[in-house]
Chains A and B, each alone.
Chain A
């Protein structure tokens, strides 16, 4: 192979699609490393602190697409203090200096400032795609900069970000010459938008295929938009309530009947059941449906809608769909691959909305199911065993029983056997989240069977260090391990320190790990960053009792070639 001219090798590498394959070939020999790095067009950095941005720029001068992830996953649930880090600016600055040909940037859980967005807008003339997921730190002014200066912008996709609203001006900043938009998603914005500017923008972008509006866009506006964007494939509605004149509503129905290409529907902010019939005409074509922002749509209305969605592959709903509604999904949506059932009533008890019965029904009706996120009030081992038998193709299985540590209500046993059945049956399982009452046994099963497991989330589970050790020893492909409120301590942490260099990261909070354990780990493994996160209200305690035997509240460990980071706030100790 080394006798092939480099152009041929490069040509072959072009066929490689996954990052892993690219990474793998670059380690074969120096020649391949050289060819690969010059030909690499897309780089994925799973942890922004694992490598310095300058190094990425230096190694891959031809990069067109960059993806970077920042905060640990548990930041989504407020377990990571706000100023922890994950700043996008160093990345954008480094690329602005060294690789301004960047065309696509995807950031997840990072702090993105308006300054970042302005840099992107001004220093990257070919910038085409911006995707921000669960980010924060910017405002609509930053979006205005992007709209104004990115001449060839194709995608502006904002998913679940916290964006400061500074008015609707940003949307009007897209110049009349901007006709290149293919995808626009501003569903997470809270503020008003200029309806006229939006309608004109959509009208002049003939290639627009994805459009997700926020709750400020009225039904009337939606009708007009639909009228001038007949080829939409993915639509997120704006506000969907009945507070609108009837003609707007009828216009909407008419427009929907003409829609042949629509495959995915979401939004439905404050949706009222009475508006639902408007979408009946297109349900038959839908492959994706997200009703998880519409708590008012329940029971019979929901079922009526679902019965029309024969081709559905992806469904996100609230648990008010009930077991009965899930049974309807099971009998209707034979192509279902992904299901997410979110809790609608987090605080109260009320009647149990979905239970193990709903899940069992789904599993028997939808054998293609491979991705699940299910919030419920109870689960039984028997149900999990049945689900495991019915659906052996799970790649993502996340079960959240709302009571921490709740056992099987029928047998009062822990759910070890149920989850054990899942990992045993689903050989391709890559992601697993556990809940309910669990002992060390479940970890034994996971270590034994979950060979492909890459990400594991543990909460309120296990009895002793053995549990964690089973997982570390057994799961060869483990990349991310996040644990909270479980009795694992230093012995488990230090059992196999080398393991953490094979993983992206480890998070442990409210466990039994002590400062001494963390320091030991840090000392043994220089290529790991061991961060101890102390919340402010504990700082008094730190002075009173700084002993190493203190239990550490939050610890985040990750492999890195960048050394300790220099942007850590005071409450983060880099050991």
Chain B
């Protein structure tokens, strides 16, 4: 994750990811609690006030204040973060406050451009050394953006997601086991999207009823987008479906980077350019993966089942950047087939 933040350095587009207004303000909500969205870094350290209008982790901050074991509560948050992350870096039980704040910020950041299909399960906690400044500025932005001026109701920094001001596309926080629905329903929800879109006229796309087992989540990053996602390989049974899903996943992110103000609304879905040709090299982007031996491979080369069992992470590269050296093994394979 760190590398992604480094990539983000010096790229103003990073901040453009936030679709909505930039000038969120400190909103005095409810009983005087201030929300996260304050520009000074120091304010992050504030224990926030009363509940009512505060985003979820902020509320937890408040509870932390009242908790008897405040020292331990920090350890608790590292645990909370851990449940969010499927692949946590090994951190000690007790972390600094800012560290825990940052771990939550990652949660915020992730929601920013919400992703429809895939239940991204969470991100790795980054070791906060370098990317801190970017992280925190991102975090502030993240907090501020969903605040709707119009609907006075929406709490500032409603980081936990889906809100009434329909402009933003913030996704609900990918917390383990939340919302409390069974896996097969979760998969039904995520798979139903593409079939709905093909409803209008024409034959149905057969929706495969997936009875979700433990998912197999691998990280996926796209060139030019600092925030990675996770995809559940077990949710698909073919390269075509995976490619479609990946295309949809990053479509929104790309569009958000290009034109942040309009990226949020669903109405723009049709206007976004579909990301196609991920598998055959024909598109602007190509999908590659890293297998368990550390080799970078083209997605599609091996039988699907073998791919699922050996893929460790995915990348969406600009086709023009596919260098002979990085895909050495692959180009050999391609000529062989």
**Chain A residues close to B by CB (< 8 Å):** 74, 76-79, 82, 134, 160, 162, 188, 190, 215, 241-243, 269-270, 272, 292-293, 295-296, 342-352, 375, 377-378, 400, 402-407, 409-410, 412-414, 433, 437, 439, 457, 459-460, 462-465, 484-485, 487, 489, 491, 509-512, 514, 537-538, 540-541, 544-545, 549-551, 553
Contact = CB atoms under 8 A, between A and B. Distances in A.
B164 A378 contact: yes
B122 to A, nearest CB: 12
B255 to A, nearest CB: 15
B330 interface: no
B59 interface: yes
Contacts of B203: 242-243
B206 A551 contact: no
B117 interface: yes
Contacts of A485: 80, 175
10 contacts: A79-B177, A296-B192, A296-B195, A344-B189, A348-B115, A377-B163, A403-B172, A405-B56, A413-B52, A487-B73
A350 B172 CA distance: 11
A403 B196 contact: no
B304 interface: no
B206 A243 contact: yes
Contact of A215 (B79, B118, B183, B209): B209
Nearest to B117: A347
Given A349-B163, A403-B172, A510-B83, A269 B209 contact: yes
Where chain A touches its partner, the secondary structure class is: loop
B172 A352 contact: no
A436 to B, nearest CB: 10
A241 B116 contact: no
B266 to A, nearest CB: 6
Contacts of A272: 204
B92 A541 contact: yes
Pairs of residues from A and B, 8 with the lowest C-beta to C-beta distance, nearest first? A77-B177, A295-B192, A409-B153, A405-B56, A349-B162, A348-B116, A412-B53, A403-B160
Nearest to A511: B76
Given A345-B116, A406-B158, A270 B195 contact: yes
A400 B183 contact: no
B309 interface: no
B25 interface: no
Contacts of B30: 407, 412-413
Given A347-B115, A349-B169, A407-B30, 15 more contacts: A76-B182, A215-B209, A295-B195, A296-B192, A347-B120, A349-B172, A352-B166, A403-B172, A407-B51, A409-B151, A413-B30, A414-B52, A489-B72, A549-B72, A553-B82
A95 B47 CA distance: 58
B199 interface: yes
A63 to B, nearest CB: 31
Contacts of A433: 180
Contact of B171 (A347, A510, A537, A544): A347
Nearest to A269: B209
Interface in B297-318: none
Contact of A464 (B60, B63, B160): B63
A464 B66 contact: yes
Nearest to A74: B177
A79 B178 CA distance: 10
B92 to A, nearest CB: 7
Nearest to A215: B209
B329 interface: no
A462 B266 CA distance: 35
Interface string B203-240: 11011010101100000000000000000000000000
Contacts of A459: 178, 180
Contacts of A410: 153
B189 A347 contact: yes
A32 B139 CA distance: 67
B331 interface: no
Interface string B273-285: 0000000000000
Contacts of B247: none
Given A402-B172, A437-B59, A462-B63, A510 B69 contact: no
Nearest to B193: A345
B68 interface: yes
Contact of B178 (A77, A406, A409): A77
B196 A538 contact: no
B155 A550 contact: no
A340 B281 CA distance: 46
Nearest to A239: B206
Contacts of A134: 182
B329 to A, nearest CB: 31
Contacts of B72: 489, 512, 514, 549, 551
B190 interface: yes
Interface string B172-202: 1111111111111110111011011001000
B82 A537 contact: yes
B179 A402 contact: yes
A270 B207 contact: yes
Given A269-B209, A403-B56, A510-B79, A348 B114 contact: yes
Nearest to A73: B180
B119 interface: yes
Given A344-B189, A378-B164, A510-B80, A541 B177 contact: no
A375 B120 CA distance: 20
Contacts of B181: 77, 342-343, 346, 375
Interface in B74-124: 75-76, 79-80, 82-83, 88, 90, 92-93, 114-120
Nearest to A346: B189
Contacts of A351: 166, 266
B68 A412 contact: no
Contacts of A378: 164
Nearest to A440: B66
Nearest to A187: B209
Nearest to B210: A190
A124 B148 CA distance: 65
Given A403-B158, A510-B83, A487 B60 contact: yes
B29 interface: yes
Contact of A405 (B160, B184, B213): B160
Interface in B1-47: 29-30
Contact of B53 (A76, A407, A541): A407
A352 B164 contact: yes
B52 A412 contact: yes
Nearest to A350: B266
A487 B68 CA distance: 10
